[in-house]
Chain A
Amino acid sequence: MPSYTLQVNGRRHSVDVAADTPLLWVVRDHLELTGTKYGCGAGLCGACTVHLDGSPARSCTLPVSAVGSKKITTIEGLGGEKTLHAVQQAWIAEDVPQCGYCQSGQIMAAAALLAKNRHPSDADIDAAMTNICRCGTYQRMRKAIKRAAQEIGT
């Protein structure tokens, strides 16, 4: 079993897993960071979204062997020690989550969007936010993204 050293949320972890193990299951089962969710296993729903060097990645189809030295951020590492990320705060302000299962992935996707585009248009939001929510919280997410954009911009 090969060994991999991963940088997750600012900490180094070593794991001994098969090379084809998706990053999702490394994070959930081996590092016990369960905020990142399994939804489809095929990169279709985005519940497993994490950041690799700040860019959104669907971890359910990303073999651990392909991560290399890229820095991984999961929902648990998105905010600071004591403060939440602006997107998390906006999600609370708009009371976005319902069942909540997809929300880690949604928040990671939104945070990645705002990191590279401070003032996304509706079309930018549509293009970046392709994760599935069966509770249908899309309208509140859109509002929350705009709220977070304003917070970050000021």
Chain B
Amino acid sequence: MSTSHDDNVSRRAFLVTTTVAGTGFLLGVRIPERRRHDVGDHETEEPSGPEVFAPNAWVRLDESGDVTILVHKSEMGQGVWTALPMIVAEEMDADWRRVRAARAPTRPEYDTATGGSSSVRESWDALRRAGAATRAMLIAAAAKRWNVPESECGTAAGEVIHKSGKRLSYGALAREAARLTPPDTKAVTLKDPRTFRILGKDTKRLDTADKVTGKASFGIDVKQPGMLVAVVARCPTFAGKVARVDDRKALGVAGVRHVITLDPIPRNHPGRVAVLADDTWSAMQGRRALDIEWDFGDQASFSTEAMWEDARRRVNDDSAATVNRQWADTTTTQATAAHRVEATYELPFVAHACMEPMNCTASVTADKVELWLPSQFPEQARRVASQLTNVSIDKVEAHVTFLGGGFGRRAYQDFVMEAVQLSQKVGRPVKVLYTREDDMQHDLYRPAQLQRFRAQLDAAGRPLTWDNRVVGPSTELWWNPKSAQPGRREAGEEPPYDVVTTKNDFVPVSSPVPLGAWRAVQNGQNGFCFESFMDECAHVVGMDPVAYRIARLAGKPRQQAVVSLAADKAQWSAPLPKGRGRGIAFFDYDGTYVAEVAEVTVTRRGGVHVDRVVCAVDCGIMVNPDTVRAQVESAVIWATTAALFGEITIKDGRTVQSNFNDYRVLKMADSPVVEVHLVRNTETPTGMGEPAVPPLAAAIGNAIFAATGQRLRRLPFRLKDLDLAALDY
């Protein structure tokens, strides 16, 4: 039961922190007699008993042959709970049917930060080596028992096999292997990827069974003895304060125990009034009964409408721009410009809207802090909790639950800070829960942005110059107001094409709106702008958009191959009826190559409908191809929502949208058919959680152009932005 919690469990993990240089993982993890994680079924009971073989920070093997592999990244839907154990199990040659996952402790040695599609990419080598080192120790144990050279032994699915045919199961070797000295992980032999048995095969996720029975435990499901639930009224303007609060009525609501005012903290923590109650509904009712007078602060007149006017006015103001990066391909002789292309694109603020609203449970005592939280950055949560309470960081535990969506939102600590502050004040465990409205109105949004492009193309269409100006609120200034590089996070990407000279600058626009990472971060804005502009360039030079991109990717066969694959599978050249169109877009996300063809129908009454999206992906070695497929399907729905509906507007200094009625998201009936085509190779794996997001809005916009002859340069694509009178159907 996810609600049962054993108070007397030991939460100690004795880590002998002998970090192996270069691999970043630990040796000699000793396991307490009986250790049970206490956040419900997400974390399994670890193997108990003295005969457990724990060769390194990732693997536990017991005498029955059960293998537990610790997962150090947060499972938020992207499949790390299965993918990361698969990597260890492959090199260990484990019997996959005997493998289960358990959450690694939150400690710096594990690098628990989860984001940027980095989990597989950055853990790949260390996890393989951990698995290979484990296998080497099991072979050594068997060779010793048989009194044969190790070179005469091999392994297969949980067994060591001698060339004579003798076999010993891993479980039977656990006791002896535990007495051996772990090998140098730098020296272990890794498998040839062509011999992989587990990696590269469609593998059922290890978390599915618990997720179809309601057993999987999320942050919102945490219950601790004596816990209160807090629902917090936050000043609707981003930097406002509490002027006056009358809490008498709130305290009169049955179940309400405390009303606590929290002072503003710079950035996304305005003045707040928390209502703490025995249960969630009482806390919500208590908050409704609060009588608060807010001091809305000096940004109470801010509106996105005025911000856009400002941005559009300043786009051509060169004196306001800071140059971010410039590249020049000096090997190419400058040809004469045959075409000049200029276009400007606009993207609004968008919200994360994770299905599980933000929450955190904290228990603060004089010498200890415990957190139970759905977080992408739990190590940072420990640091923040330590700073707020002055409890030494080694006395701060962060138990990570499953995350009901992350998408970048759960990289932040606002909800953690509130839970810690409130628990400290009342001396009891406190769960802070955002309502949906809180979650939407106190998000850290993807930055709104205007991007202007100016390019000169030679007669064949090659961009000789590519001048990309980003105008908008600066994430860098939001977090670090004194920064000398306001455009550091928004501007500075080179297009993945054969551009000769690139210039990239940034014009900051003043805004009090909290800004944060949103699935794919700046790649999302760039994907839309770059790929819409590439389409415009193709049309200016009279080239087919697919042929144009393939020409611009000369010398990059993997990139060209995904463009061709998507186009072929989408029957790019097959005619479509009037009112329908296809558009293509390509993106290189840190070495993951994605091409997407969107097929849309544009009608006078219904507007834009995305019918089908054909995707081609090359992410190197696929750990679990079915998860790669699932992440592309997910990204397509996510990005279609943003392209067709996503827009947060601000009026009178506050977020206008509040729930799914006015912040529409795609439902099943609106969803396109998604086709995913995977490229198989043995290149080093790259990330998959985000890469299929960036190109999609452009693919849709390019398809709208193909269907209607009209170019929409602002997201979301709305019916009212089309000139219906000009449609020829």
Contacts and interface: CB of A to CB of B under 8 A. Distances in A.
Contact of A99 (B254, B405, B436, B666): B405
A84 B671 CA distance: 28
Interface in B700-720: none
A100 B1 contact: no
Contacts of A38: 220, 280, 357, 433
Interface size class of B (residues with CB under 8 A): 35 or more
B687 interface: no
Contact of A136 (B78, B217, B666): B666
A25 B280 contact: yes
Interface string A109-132: 000000000000000011101111
Contacts of B353: 134
A18 interface: yes
Contact of A104 (B77, B214, B220, B437): B214
Interface string B207-218: 111111111111
Interface stretch (B47-55, B342-350, B413-421, B632-640): B632-640
B479 interface: no
Nearest to A21: B281
A30 interface: yes
B665 A103 contact: no
A110 to B, nearest CB: 10
Contact of B633 (A17, A100, A140): A140
Contacts of B356: 37, 39, 99, 101
Nearest to B638: A136
A134 B659 contact: no
Interface size class of A (residues with CB under 8 A): 35 or more
Contacts of B365: none
B355 A98 contact: no
Contacts, number: 187
Contacts of B395: none
Contacts of A42: 436, 659-661
Contact of B634 (A32, A35, A129, A136): A136
A35 B668 contact: no
A72 interface: no
Contacts of A96: 208, 212
Contacts of B2: 34-35
Interface of A is mostly: loop
Contacts of A99: 75-77, 354-356, 402-406
Nearest to B665: A132
Interface string B280-291: 111011000000
A129 B668 CA distance: 7
A142 B673 CA distance: 11
Interface string B102-141: 0000000000000000000000000000000000000000
B214 A98 contact: no
Given A39-B436, A98-B79, A101-B356, A135 B634 contact: yes
Nearest to B660: A44
B667 A29 contact: no
B221 interface: yes
B205 interface: yes
A57 interface: no
A125 B667 CA distance: 12
Nearest to B75: A99
B152 interface: no
A126 B79 contact: no
Nearest to B4: A32
Nearest to B407: A134
Given A101-B218, A142-B668, A134 B355 contact: yes
Contacts of A36: 214
A136 B633 contact: yes
A136 B214 contact: no
B114 to A, nearest CB: 12
B207 A100 contact: yes
Interface of A: 1, 17-18, 20-22, 25, 28-30, 32-42, 44-45, 47, 74-76, 79, 84, 88, 91-92, 95-104, 107, 125-127, 129-142
Given A40-B659, A92-B209, 11 more contacts: A33-B3, A38-B357, A41-B659, A44-B660, A95-B205, A95-B626, A99-B356, A100-B207, A102-B404, A132-B665, A132-B667
